[in-house]
Amino acid sequence: MDQPERQSHWDDRYRTSGADSVSWFEAEPRLSLELFDLVGATPASSVIDIGGGASSLTATLQQRGFADLTVLDVSAEALDASRRNVDSPDEITWIRADLLDWSPARRWNV
Ligand SMILES: C[S@@+](CC[C@H](N)C(=O)[O-])C[C@H]1O[C@@H](n2cnc3c(N)ncnc32)[C@H](O)[C@@H]1O
């Protein structure tokens, strides 16, 4: 599968099912939050959610005071849905990119 096919595949998954009806949807990202605690992440930590999709993780972290948040996903459909779910979307960095072709311009703590 090449990059345009990956984007189209994931856009179709979100478009046809709806962001909260995809098979991997969870209302509360409980395990991810437990892992954040285990690695000692705090609201001062910078975080990137790679393949973040329309997950509620970023919205939850923003509500907990995390201020340096980035979401990367190949699917524009997923990022649009995620953007609608957060309180302050303009305070988050959204990257529509394919991880396999992407070179980070900075570093993150988590
Ligand atoms: C199974 S979903 C999980 C989404 C989210 N992490 C969650 O838990 O709801 C996988 C996500 O990875 C994204 N993805 C798949 N391949 C990717 C790639 N090569 N580059 C960037 N994102 C990718 C998809 O668009 C999708 O949003």
Report CA torsion sign: 25, 97, 49, 93: negative
10-52 pLDDT, tens digit per residue, is 999 999 999 888 999 999 999 999 999 999 999 999 999 999 9
What is the per-residue pLDDT across 58-83, written as a single tens digit (0 to 9) for each? 999 999 999 999 999 999 999 999 99
From the CB of 68, is ligand 1 less than 6 Å away? no
Query: Nearest residue CA, atom 17 of ligand 1?
Result: 74
Contact residues for 64 (Cβ-Cβ < 8 A; gap 6+): 43
Please identify, by atom number, the ligand 1 atom nearest to the C-alpha of residue 75: 25
In a domain, 1, yes or no: yes
User: Range of 68's domain?
Assistant: 1-15+43-99
The CATH number of the domain where 81 resides is what? 3.40.50.150
Total domains in the chain come to 1
Whether 20 maps to a domain, the answer reads no
- Does the beta carbon of 6 sit less than 6 angstroms from any atom of ligand 1? yes
- Centroid of ligand 1 to alpha carbon of 53 (angstroms): 5
